[in-house]
A and B are shown apart, each in its own frame.
Chain A
Amino acid sequence: MSMRDFSSEHFVLEDGSKIAVIGGGPAGSFFTYFAIDFAERMGLDISIDIYEAKDFTCAGPQGCNNCGGIVSESLIQSLSAEGVVLPSKVIQRGIESYTLHLENGSTVIKTPLEEQRIASMFRGFGPKGNTDTNTASFDNFLFGLCQEKGARVISERVSEAIRTADAVTLTTKDGNKARYDLVVGAVGLNGKALSLFKSICPSFEPPETTKTYISEFQMEPELIDKHFGNSMHVFLLNLPNIKFGALIPKDNYVTLVLLGSDINMEIACSFINSKSVMKLFPRGIKLDDITPCKCFPSINVKGAKLAYDDRVVLVGDSASSKLYKNGVGAAYITGKAAANAAIFNGISANAFKKYYQPVCSELDNDNKLGKFIFSVTGIIQKSHLLKGALLSMVISEQHKASHKRRMSSVLWDTFTGSAAYKNIFVRCLNPLLLVSLVWNIIKSTLNLIFKKK
């Protein structure tokens, strides 16, 4: 009997059903956490094995998932409503503002309620050589929540997956085999692991990616307080390939993230050595001497196609993410949506198409607007006049009531990833914002003319 002969009632989870989650990063953990939670609510007795070979309690590449390390405002709020409060050791620093740096100057934009609503964190146990025992890994925290809920961790790599009519059989590198009713792929953008899914999910087309740059600067906490504060520093500089750069303060490290297209060491150096960046660091500091690690990780810039089939679903970066921002937030959205579909609607391709794919499509469609928004910021980046207008508009808004800081809130959500790009786009069309922008452009033009004279 071929697999397609099975009616949809064969593709439902029942008491005793087994699920394998390959990858224990946030997407895998969120899937596991919510699948167990939903199953408990339904009185369904299922078991979940998470395959993760990485040890998140290790410093450096062994425990790292190559990420800037920000938990967005919207995710913090959702997690709080879910009853998940991040422990102090996981939060490296509560971010209460962001500072926008342009060649023409800088300005601080505070959160609307003036409270710390964004967390900086490390996905693993911090950069290479980190010995700070007050650090705890974000991924390990989520992993722990899943284990508390009853998930079993298998610290092995999966080397083969074979799908038959009634199960998916996984084989590990050590030769151990196990049969599962559902296999969930949360393997990020790992090429080898993604190709494993091609064999059990033939129509799946992996996401498109580009290279970014992340590096760490080790500094004393007092120096970070003095030079960076609890502010995320965002740079819109006129440099090739860089859409934007951010310096994220942590407890005793500052993380640099550069996003754009195909960033290499030369581009990264031009950013690091720029005046706007160097002026933030203590004078005379040699950044190379305080950089324990740097990497060029890939990010998802175009979602995967058909990231599901009967008994198989992919989540997080392996499926769809949010362009340039809030990858952990996208892992939460897709992981939870896939768990919801699997527990309440079944594990057939049709169930995932109907109940999971719309969530991925929404992210993908939103990213199209995101691309447009970043192309506009790209134009602003290249124009001294527009940057001057933007800066004067944001500075003048800081004296207004929070609901009237229209441009500041648009920039806040664009750079923190707290809101959907669609929402940001709609707010950009507000006539009052556009009038104010035009007025500031006129002012900047006049300023330039008078300066020349």
Chain B
Amino acid sequence: MRNNKLGRLYRDGEIVINKGDEGSCLFVIQEGKVEVFDENGGGEIKIAELGSGEFFGEMGLFEKDVRSCTVRASGNAKILTIDKKNFYKTIQKDPTLAYRLLQKMSFRLRELNKKVIQV
């Protein structure tokens, strides 16, 4: 099989990040999908499904807190990690690199507001 996607291969159902773990990198999906979920009273609450080109784990870049959700591969997925140290060094030189991250975080906040209003 041609090896033509970057990142690490996560098999269907494999955990990429665990809620409560310390986080020091951002993840970008190169191929496939992941599910973001939280646990509540023994059950799972699906928060989002993300696909190729989307990122997750961004809170770990800005906060020292632990991962807030669990993320697992939904089908086989290839995921690239962007380490915090390198990312900060690059942003220091080129702040525009953070724009898309802010844009996406703003979008996610808007979506969350909508959900809160619905509840």
Contact = CB atoms under 8 A, between A and B. Distances in A.
Do A and B interact?
yes
A80 B4 contact: no
Interface in B39-98: 52-53, 55, 80-83, 86-87, 90, 94, 96-97
The binding surface of chain B is classed by DSSP as mixed
B118 interface: no
- Which of A77, A78, A92 has the most C-beta atoms of chain B within 10 angstroms of its own C-beta? A77
Interface in B1-36: 2-8, 26, 28, 30-31
Interface in A74-116: 74, 76-78, 80-83, 85-86, 88-89, 91-94, 113-116
Contacts of B82: 77, 80-81
A414 interface: no
A93 B87 contact: no
Contacts of A94: 3-7
A80 B80 contact: yes
A76 B55 CA distance: 14
- Which of A76, A85, A333, A336 has the most C-beta atoms of chain B within 10 angstroms of its own C-beta? A85
- Which of B6, B31, B53 has the most C-beta atoms of chain A within 10 angstroms of its own C-beta? B6
B100 interface: yes
B30 A93 contact: no
B101 interface: yes
A91 B8 contact: no
Contact of B97 (A82, A114, A118): A82
The range of chain B's interface size is: 20 to 34
Contacts of B7: 94, 115-117
A134 interface: yes
Contacts of B97: 78, 81-82
Interface residues of A, number: 34
Contact of A91 (B4, B28, B90): B4
B104 to A, nearest CB: 9
The binding surface of chain A is classed by DSSP as mixed
Interface in A358-400: none
A116 B96 contact: no
A38 B96 contact: yes
A336 B94 contact: yes
- Which of B8, B83, B97 has the most C-beta atoms of chain A within 10 angstroms of its own C-beta? B8
A32 interface: no
Contacts of A89: 4
A88 B31 CA distance: 9
B4 A88 contact: yes
B100 A83 contact: yes
B111 to A, nearest CB: 18
A81 B2 contact: no
A140 interface: no
Interface of B: 2-8, 26, 28, 30-31, 52-53, 55, 80-83, 86-87, 90, 94, 96-97, 99-101
The 5 A-B pairs at the shortest CB distance, nearest first, are namely A115-B8, A80-B28, A91-B4, A88-B4, A85-B53
Given A94-B5, A117-B6, 15 more contacts: A41-B99, A77-B80, A77-B86, A80-B80, A81-B28, A81-B101, A83-B53, A83-B100, A88-B4, A91-B5, A113-B83, A116-B3, A116-B5, A116-B6, A118-B6
